[in-house]
Amino acid sequence: MVLPPDQRKQVERLLGEFCENRVPPQHRAKLRYGYLIRGSSVTLSEFRPSLTRPGVWTECAVAKFSFDPATSQWSVFWQRANGKWQFSDWRRPAKRFGTVLAEVLRDSYGAFFG
pLDDT tens profile 86-110: 999 888 999 999 999 999 999 999 9
Q: How far apart are CA 61 and CA 17, in angstroms?
A: 18
Q: How far apart are CA 30 and CA 109, in angstroms?
A: 25
pLDDT tens profile 12-68: 999 999 999 999 999 999 999 999 999 999 999 999 999 999 999 999 999 999 999
Residues 78, 93: contact at Cβ < 8 Å? no
**pTM for this one?**
0.92
